[in-house]
């Protein structure tokens, strides 16, 4: 796992869906980089994260909510979710 | 480098593609230039999931929580920052979806092929006094038939006044989710199958007409045909003639790959770059003598529309039916009253697909995670959307003008001044209310209005409108630029007033008619 990927993985821990999107971690830096709303959060996290710092400690409540919305969105837009929805009644 | 040709066609969209094909097949010496290359075949074959696309439908301007909004994120769209012909739109401003690849905006075309009706050509739109059709349906009928055969249009002949019959292939039958909607709204629907839908996301069958896949292969090997890809027209050089206005002596273009200027001497120049790019090219070309570009850019229109979405509870906890996501199999039409009691026509297209992006999350109340997952699974497989279109209200103040900033090629960008009229907004509210009622009848108890910002109809028109005389427009009824003897315009910009119907087939029919005229005159 690259440095960026592990930063992204730690960032996603803010959300209860973090475990569900692990296969997508590698895509997250680029998606966040491209989006106007997420880019500042990713840049700040990339520059300032330390090993003992959690996103909930670093970001404001509003920013944590934004990250949670993003991770939740990723899960429900993922192929894994689509497969499960097609399979189950 | 200088090239000498009989016909120079700028652009390969709905107009340019048909023109190039017809002229080339007639043996004419045709050079077509396009600012981009041919898109990969996979753009038309593979319907990718948000994950397969890699961007999850998250664009630069997507905001979280993501709410239902028409926001097209597509690999073929021009990068608004560096390649765009227009200034970045302000928040809530007109968004121009621009594609530089071959086929132009047809790459985002959802394949709905409708002829304009007699009523459309008879100028019955009460709000279009300054924009009037100078031709009738009869003038275009044969050309509609020709392009329907070229584009392989699918449909039923129902003898409806609003949707004239054409040369159609047979439709496919309705699917499970179509039946839910049809059976619940029996009596108020016009059923008419079309070839495909949503091709901007890829087409499983490859059946949607594209110049690059359908007609270009037929003419590409012809010795009288040339396509210059990645070559962008930046200026038309005009030479004044005594009595007949001016003549275009050269098209100046930049060949991006070879990094060189190409000068094209042509007997006839046909600008088919779309209703935003064509006026920009003309305004830039005649910036030193604005009298040559009078009225160019005015009356910009985009078909007003409303989008309502729902989940059919009638399909909850039933097995997922995989026959989804291909085509708009139900088309509805008719007339309803606006808030003043005036009747106006509308067209609705019913579209059902597995929900790709979870727009419903923003509306979901706070629930335990297992419930969110359960509900999301049901919503995923039961979503349906109605897109309802109404006629445009042309306004002179809605226009394309030159901006101060320049683009990647050193040409002045365009600025789009656009305001949705209160009448259009009223019509959109009315058709949205109708759509909600219809979806509820089909067990879609909770409906969502999908925000559709200006420009998201992607039916740009009006900016070089055709007219009976020079006072009323930019091109004549044969699409010849009034002030020039060898310049023609052939794209959405020549449509004087948009009806509620998708304009693509009409642009193609106009192009076919122009090609026949040019063949008669010059060959």
Tens of pLDDT, residues B383-441 = 888 999 999 999 999 999 999 999 888 899 999 999 999 999 999 999 999 999 999 99
pLDDT of residue B194: 38
pLDDT of residue B38: 94
Angle at B498 between CA B208 and CA B13, to 5 degrees: 35
CA B224 to chain centre: 29
Task: State the nearest Cα–Cα gap between B319 and chain A, in angstroms.
Answer: 5
Task: State the nearest Cα–Cα gap between B325 and chain A, in angstroms.
Answer: 14
* Number of inter-chain CB pairs under 8 A, A vs B: 76
Of the listed ranges A6-15, B37-46, B222-231, B500-509, the least confidently predicted one is: B37-46
Contact B361 A81 (CB under 8 A): no
pLDDT of residue B71: 66
CA R_g for chain A? 13
Contact A37 B63 (CB under 8 A): yes
User: Which residues of chain B are at the A interface, by a Cβ-Cβ cutoff of 8 Å?
Assistant: 49-52, 54-66, 317-320, 322, 354, 356-358, 361, 369, 376-377, 380-381
Tell me how far apart the alpha carbons of residues B462 and B282 are, in angstroms, rounded to a whole number: 14
Q: What is the ipTM of this complex?
A: 0.93
Q: Is the bond preceding B65 in cis, omega lying within 30 degrees of 0?
A: yes
Average pLDDT, chain B: 88
- Asked if the C-beta of A69 comes within 8 angstroms of chain B's C-beta atoms, the answer is yes
Tens of pLDDT, residues B171-201 = 666 667 777 777 777 665 544 333 444 444 4
User: Of B32, B95, B147, B460, which Cα lies nearest the Cα of B274?
Assistant: B460
**Helices B422-441 and B176-184: angle between axes, nearest 10 degrees:** 100
Q: Are strands B2-10 and B260-271 parallel, antiparallel or unpaired?
A: parallel
- Stretch B285-304: mean pLDDT: 96
pLDDT of residue B191: 42
Tell me how far apart the alpha carbons of residues B518 and B513 are, in angstroms, rounded to a whole number: 9
Contacts of B59 in chain A (CB under 8 A): 34-35
Q: Greater confidence, B154 or B222?
A: B222
Q: Greater confidence, B195 or B269?
A: B269
Q: Is B187 helix (H, G, I), strand (E, B) or coil?
A: coil
Q: Which of residues 6-25 of A touch B (CB under 8 A)?
A: 16, 24
Q: Whole-model pTM?
A: 0.88
Q: Which of residues 45-64 of A touch B (CB under 8 A)?
A: none
Tell me how far apart the alpha carbons of residues B331 and B348 are, in angstroms, rounded to a whole number: 6
Distances (CA, A) of B186 to B171, B314, B330, B458: 19, 17, 12, 31
pLDDT of residue B319: 87
pLDDT of residue B362: 85
């Amino acid at each position: 796992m690259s440095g960026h990927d592990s930063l992204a993985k730690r960032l996603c821990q803010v959300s209860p869906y973090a475990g569900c999107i692990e296969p997508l971690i590698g895509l997250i830096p680029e998606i966040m980089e491209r989006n106007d709303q997420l880019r500042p959060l990713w840049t700040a996290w990339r520059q300032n994260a330390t090993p003992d710092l959690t996103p909930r400690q670093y970001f404001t409540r509003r920013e944590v909510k934004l990250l949670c919305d993003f991770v939740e969105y990723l899960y429900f837009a993922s192929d894994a979710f689509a497969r499960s929805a097609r399979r189950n009644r | 480098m200088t090239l000498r040709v009989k016909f120079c066609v700028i652009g390969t969209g709905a107009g340019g593609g048909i023109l190039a094909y017809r002229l080339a097949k007639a043996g004419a010496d045709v050079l077509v230039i396009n600012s981009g290359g041919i898109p990969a075949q996979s753009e038309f074959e593979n319907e990718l999931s948000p994950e397969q696309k890699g961007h999850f439908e998250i664009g630069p301007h997507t905001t979280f929580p993501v709410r239902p909004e028409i926001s097209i994120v597509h690999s073929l769209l021009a990068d608004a920052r560096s390649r765009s012909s227009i200034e970045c739109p302000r928040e809530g401003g007109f968004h121009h979806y621009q594609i530089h690849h071959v086929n132009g905006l047809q790459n985002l075309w959802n394949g709905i092929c409708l002829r304009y009706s007699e009523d459309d050509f008879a100028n019955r739109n009460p709000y279009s006094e300054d924009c009037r059709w100078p031709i009738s349906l009869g003038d275009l009928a044969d050309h509609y038939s020709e392009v329907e055969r070229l584009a392989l249009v699918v449909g039923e002949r129902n003898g409806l006044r609003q949707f004239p019959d054409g040369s159609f292939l047979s439709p496919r039958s309705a699917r499970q989710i179509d039946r839910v909607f049809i059976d619940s709204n029996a009596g108020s629907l016009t059923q008419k199958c079309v070839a495909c839908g949503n091709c901007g996301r890829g087409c499983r069958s490859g059946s949607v007409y594209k110049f690059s896949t359908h007609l270009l292969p037929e003419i590409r090997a012809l010795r009288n045909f040339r396509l210059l890809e990645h070559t962008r027209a930046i200026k038309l050089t005009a030479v004044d003639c005594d009595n007949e206005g001016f003549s275009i002596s050269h098209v100046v273009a930049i060949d991006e790959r070879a990094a060189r200027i190409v000068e094209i001497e042509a007997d006839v120049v046909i600008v088919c770059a779309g209703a935003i790019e064509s006026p920009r090219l003309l305004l830039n070309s005649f910036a030193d003598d604005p009298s040559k570009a009078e009225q160019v850019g005015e009356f910009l229109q985009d078909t007003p529309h409303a989008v309502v979405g729902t989940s059919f509870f009638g399909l909850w906890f039933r097995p997922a039916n995989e026959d989804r996501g291909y085509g708009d199999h139900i088309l509805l039409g008719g007339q309803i009253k606006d808030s003043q009691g005036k009747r106006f026509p509308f067209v609705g297209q019913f579209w059902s697909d597995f929900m790709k992006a979870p727009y419903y999350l923003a509306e979901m109340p706070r629930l335990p995670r297992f419930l969110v997952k359960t509900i999301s699974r049901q919503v995923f497989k039961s979503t349906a959307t109605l897109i309802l279109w109404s006629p445009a209200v042309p306004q002179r103040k809605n226009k394309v003008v030159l901006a101060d900033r320049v683009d990647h090629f050193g040409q002045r960008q365009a600025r789009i001044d656009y305001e949705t009229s209160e009448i259009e907004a009223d019509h959109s509210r009315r058709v949205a209310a109708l759509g909600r009622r219809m979806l509820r009848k089909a067990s879609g108890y909770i409906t969502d209005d999908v925000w559709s910002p200006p420009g998201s109809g992607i039916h740009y028109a009006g900016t070089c409108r055709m007219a009976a005389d020079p006072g009323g427009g930019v091109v004549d009824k044969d699409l010849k630029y009034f002030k020039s003897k060898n310049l023609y315009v052939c794209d959405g910009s020549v449509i004087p007033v948009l009806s509620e119907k998708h304009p693509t087939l009409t642009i193609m029919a106009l192009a076919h008619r122009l090609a026949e005229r040019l063949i008669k005159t010059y060959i």
